[in-house]
Each structure stands twice: as C-alpha cells, then as structure tokens.
A = this chain, B = another copy of it.
Amino acid sequence: MLSLHQLRCFLATYEHGSLTAAAEELGYAQPSVSEQVRALEKTLGVPLFRRVGRGVVPTTLADTLRPYAEQAIAASEEARRAVQSAVSLESGTIRFGMFGAARLYAGAQIVADVLERYPGVRVELIGQHSNEVQEQLRRGHLEAAMIAATSVESEGMTVIPVARDELVYISADPSRLTTPVTAARLAKASLIMPETTWRNSDSVRILLRRFLHEAGHNPQTRIEVEEAEISVDLVGRGLGDSVIPRAAAEQLIPRLAPNVDWVSLRPKQYDVMAIVHRRGAVLSPAAQVLIEIATKHIQSVAEPI
C-alpha cells in the first residue's frame, strides 16, 4: 500500500538526485531511504530511478509521479495546519446547543460576541427546544448546551445552573394582573401555551403542572401553539392568557402586544437555565468559549444563580 513516508523519501531523493543526500535531509540512514524507495517502486510496479554509478537518476515515470506525490504531501501538511488553527480557534466551527427561549434572550448577541473575539470561526447555534438539544447531547452530536434544567433527567449529564428566570402570568386584561396569580386562579384561567410538540416535557409546562398539582388542581390549556411569539400575539388579541419566562415577556411584549402586561405567580416559580454536557467530557476550547459568553449574556437578562 502506498504511504506518505514512501512519497516523502521519493521526493527527497528526486530533488537531490541522491539517496544519501535524501537520507541526510530526512534524518535517516541511507539504506532506510533506499528501502523505502524500493518499496515504492515495488508497489507501483515501475522503476523510478536508474541506479547509475555514483548517484541515481529519475526516470520519466518519476517525473510523472512527482506532482502527485507533492500534492499528497502538501495535502497532509495542510491537514495538520488546518486542524491546528481550528483547535486554536483561528478557524473551524463552534457548535453549541441552545434551547429556543435562551436564543430569544441572547442568541444573536452571543454569536456576535464570539465572532468578535474569534473572527475566523463559524458558529452554529443548534436546537429549537431544550429536550431536542438534550437529545443531541446524549447522542454526542453536541458537546455542550444551554438548556432549561427543569426538564432534564440529568443522568449521565453534568448540569451547571447558571441563571433562573421567573415565570410570569401575562394577560391583555389589566383586571387579572392586579395581584399575583395563585394556583387556584391559574387553574381557572384560559391558557395559551407554546411548545406544543414538547407538551409533556417542556420545562415551563412541568413547572406549571407541579405548581398546580401541589394545590390540588389540574392544568388546562385552551390553545396550543408552537412558537412563543405566537402565543404572546394571541394573548395580545385577548384570546386568553399565558405563562412564560419573564425575560421572554420583557422581550416579546413591547414588540408584539404592547397592551399586554404581566404579574408574578404566588408563590413565585422559576425556570432554571443551565449549562449541560456529558458527564466526564473534556470540553473543547470552542465549547468553553461559548459557555463563557453564553453564561455572561444569560445572566445579564435573567437572575444569576
């Protein structure tokens, strides 16, 4: 089988017209280079050099081989270089999981920050929802992620809480916002909830279910939609109320439904955001950078833990 080592020896010999000189350049003894070249000639089945008195002379077949050999060597060296520069974050891709709400909070700003610090990299923020992200983590397609920790069955995962965000009750009807909403009142409300696909494992849903169960009530939603933006929009149209993280409320309400306002639950409920990665994993520099930046931003819009 053809090997780079053989090609290296061939090229050195070709350039020097001498096995001895090639060996010296490569830091080997002369018979070693001789052996490699002979092996190459054998695998190709053709003579590459004529052994002629003092020295060796390339055949025309060697002339034919040379450019390809050079290309192979060059590609292998390029490979080394490219990987090194990627590992030092001069290039390459940083891939990081992030659930929908967190992206809403700070996604664009995080990408901008990373690109400012590492102009050569490509950034991928992956995943729509915490559970989806978690699945990718579990499968190893992601190294680390920022997720809503409440929804995590954390087996095999290391979870590092970073910030918490209060869940607030939003409504277009000011009369429902005069006092904090209790479980009893929430159970009677007509709710519009997002994240339909993840109905049973969405962290906000889990929190609400627990909140209601503890007071002996059952959750009940009137309208299910996929996007948080749409549920806020619908609340603005007076079709129902909703419960969403406070940072999401502050971001979405002014934009989508200025007539909507919010009030706390009683007792207050918190969605916890956390960094998550496989237990025992050694994080790449890329992942560490993104964790650092994402944490900083999340903590600037939500409450640090």
Query: Which residues on B sit within 8 Å (CB–CB) of A91?
Result: 64
In the bound assembly, the distance between CA atoms of A86 and B78 in angstroms comes to 28
Query: Does A225 have its Cβ within 8 Å of any Cβ on chain B?
Result: no
Query: Which residues on B sit within 8 Å (CB–CB) of A140?
Result: 50-53, 55-57
Q: A273-289 vs B: 1/0 string, CB under 8 Å?
A: 00000100110101000
CB pair B60–A92 under 8 Å, yes or no, is yes
CB pair B57–A68 under 8 Å, yes or no, is no
Question: A4-B72, A75-B72 are known contacts. Are A86 and B57 too (CB-CB below 8 A)?
Answer: no
Counting every copy of the chain, the complex holds: 2
B-facing residues in A1-54 (Cβ within 8 Å): 1-5, 7, 44-47, 50-53
Query: Does A110 have its Cβ within 8 Å of any Cβ on chain B?
Result: no
CB pair B95–A278 under 8 Å, yes or no, is no
In the bound assembly, the distance between CA atoms of A50 and B72 in angstroms comes to 27
**Minimum Cβ distance to chain B for residue A16 (Å):** 15
Query: Does A87 have its Cβ within 8 Å of any Cβ on chain B?
Result: yes
Q: A51-88 vs B: 1/0 string, CB under 8 Å?
A: 11101110111011100110110011011101110110
Query: Does A141 have its Cβ within 8 Å of any Cβ on chain B?
Result: yes
Query: Does A143 have its Cβ within 8 Å of any Cβ on chain B?
Result: yes
CB pair A65–B83 under 8 Å, yes or no, is yes
In the bound assembly, the distance between CA atoms of A86 and B59 in angstroms comes to 11
Query: Does A94 have its Cβ within 8 Å of any Cβ on chain B?
Result: yes
Query: Does A93 have its Cβ within 8 Å of any Cβ on chain B?
Result: yes
What 9 A-B pairs have minimum CB-CB distances, sorted nearest first?
Answer: A52-B140, A68-B79, A72-B75, A57-B140, A71-B75, A60-B93, A64-B86, A50-B140, A72-B76
Question: 8 A-B pairs, CB-CB below 8 angstroms?
Answer: A1-B4, A3-B3, A4-B76, A55-B140, A57-B141, A60-B284, A64-B82, A75-B75
